[in-house]
Amino acid sequence: IPEQVATAIVRGAFEFQGQKCSAASRAYIPKSMWPDVEKMIRRDVDSFKMGSPEDMSNFITAVIHEGSFDKLAKYIDRAKSDAHAEVVIGGNYDKSKGWFIEPTVIVTTDPKYVTMETELFGPVITIYVYEDHQYTEMLQLVDETSEYALTGAILGQDRYAVIQATKALENCAGNFYINDKCTGAVVGKQPFGGARSSGTNDKAGSKLNLLRWISPRMIKETFVTPTDYRYPFLGE
């Protein structure tokens, strides 16, 4: 359902100004669905209140520091000028009073575009619109595009498509969500961690993580020590 996809993108990419390691930074949308999803994302972004975090009604506040602001502004400006990218929502920024980046959606025709491969750590998401019949090829693109493997999500009503994605993407997201946004793991309930350049998938928030804080030692003691190198199978 387009509204569910749009909500997952808006929450996953823009909550906390996208300053979460699990935030959605890229998304793949089928061509037939994208017009409706874009319309709903635009509706939501237009409704955002932006301002001080002291006002809990503000969905968007400033990014963490000027260095982050400048980096994000650079990538937004690049997307505005690159032939393979287009800023379709947002794209404005202002640091006259605080470091405010407007929630931004970039659409690219290049699935390996720089912001599809780079973790920006800000309220910027890049969308690649794929042909509906190229679902299988799209899953391969998802798996091979980013060096990171922390979180990912699939939204779909076709159970076979969901299972296909879950299998195809088994190595590219240590925390994988079905029909939900890719953020919000609860410590003790959803152990958290990823592999590839995201780490060694230690799963913080679970007993599995305790193995990273110990030094395993294995001891073998033999009571009947061999005195002949020959094994029984060597016999004629």
User: Comparing 186 with 225, which gets the higher pLDDT?
Assistant: 225
Domains of the chain plus CATH, in order, are: 2-185 (3.40.309.10)
What is the enclosing helix (H) or strand (E) of 69? helix 66-81
Strands 151-154 vs 175-178: parallel, antiparallel or unpaired: parallel
Phi and psi at 211, nearest 5°, equal -65, -20
pLDDT at 5 over 90: yes
How high is the pLDDT of residue 224? 95
Residues whose CB falls within 8 Å of the CB of residue 183, separated by 6 or more in sequence, listed in order: 11, 12, 15, 20, 22, 23, 24, 151
pLDDT tens-digit map of 154-195: 999 999 999 999 999 999 998 999 999 999 888 777 888 888
For 15, 19, 45, 145, 163, the CA distances from 103, given in Å and listed in that order, are: 10, 12, 7, 23, 32
pTM: 0.86
What is the enclosing helix (H) or strand (E) of 179? none
Nearest CA among 14, 35, 33, 12 for reference residue 24 = 12
> Interhelix angle for 34-47 vs 2-14, to 10°?
50
pLDDT-derived band at 93, boundaries 50, 70, 90: very high
How high is the pLDDT of residue 120? 94
Across the chain, mean pLDDT equals 92
For 33, 134, 146, the CA distances from 22, given in Å and listed in that order, are: 24, 26, 13
SS3 assignment, position 10: helix
The whole-number average pLDDT for the span 63-75 is 96
The whole-number average pLDDT for the span 130-158 is 93
